[in-house]
């Protein structure tokens, strides 16, 4: 159990993975007659659970086939990221600070567990995290606060002693609803949009002075 915690979304937050998801969806979509350009990707894919993505974009395919399609797309994504992922600038410094100060660390993601495991391994950061919460394995995923509340429970930390890091509206809303101080990474959202969805601050990466000020103020 910990007295303080940092909770991180995966895609777009630990690493700028959206370009690889987009690449995978463009290639995958062609086989099913779906053109997934950047505006479509940002509106219907980024930060969304696969069940909703395939409901919105592949409605012409029988719904019972959606899990199989999702598995195929995610397998393609995992092939595309090999040797290509990089951590967001400054991330390793934050993780090392957390280790030094005995702060609990969690990944809270709507992504499938195989994706999260492979991405953490590719980034070389798997050993930092004490727990991984997968929204699709719970009764409700993001934007419901349940995944973040589950992460807090597993680490034994109250919401007022935690900070969440997110980059997409569903995740920001989930962390905000869990009453966690929320940092919006502007990898996929502008500052105004991040704050409109509930982020307390918005930063481009983990080197931002505003982030370190917030860490000191919120969890010390």
- Residues labelled catalytic: 9, 11
CA distance 7 to 73: 26
Are 24 and 77 a contacting pair, CB within 8 Å?
yes
Place of tokens 């090999």: 82
Task: Give which of 212, 188, 191 is closest to 201, Cα–Cα.
Answer: 191
CA distance 29 to 31: 5
- Round the CA-based radius of gyration of the chain to a whole number and report it: 17
Q: Within its chain, how far is the Cα of 26 from the centroid?
A: 21
Q: 110 burial class (0-12, 13-18, 19+ CB within 10 angstroms)?
A: buried
């Amino acid at each position: 159990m910990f007295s303080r915690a940092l909770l991180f979304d995966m895609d777009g937050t630990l690493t700028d993975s959206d370009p690889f998801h987009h690449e995978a969806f463009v290639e995958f979509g062609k086989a099913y007659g779906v053109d997934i350009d950047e505006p479509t990707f940002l509106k219907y894919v980024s930060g969304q659970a696969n069940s909703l993505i395939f409901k919105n974009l592949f409605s012409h395919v029988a719904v019972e086939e959606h899990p199989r399609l999702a598995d195929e797309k995610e397998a393609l994504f995992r092939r595309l990221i090999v040797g290509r992922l990089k951590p967001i600038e400054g991330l390793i410094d934050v993780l090392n600070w957390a280790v030094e100060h005995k702060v609990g660390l969690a990944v809270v993601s709507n992504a499938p567990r195989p994706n999260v495991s492979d991405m953490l391994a590719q980034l070389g950061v798997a050993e930092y995290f004490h727990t991984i919460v997968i929204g699709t394995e719970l009764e409700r995923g993001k934007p419901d606060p349940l995944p973040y509340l589950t992460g807090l429970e597993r680490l034994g930390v109250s919401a007022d002693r935690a900070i969440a890091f997110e980059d997409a509206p569903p995740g920001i809303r989930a962390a905000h609803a869990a009453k966690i101080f929320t940092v919006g990474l502007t990898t996929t959202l502008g500052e105004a949009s991040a704050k409109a969805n509930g982020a307390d601050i918005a930063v481009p990466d983990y080197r931002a002075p505003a982030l370190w000020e917030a860490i000191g103020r919120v969890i010390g």
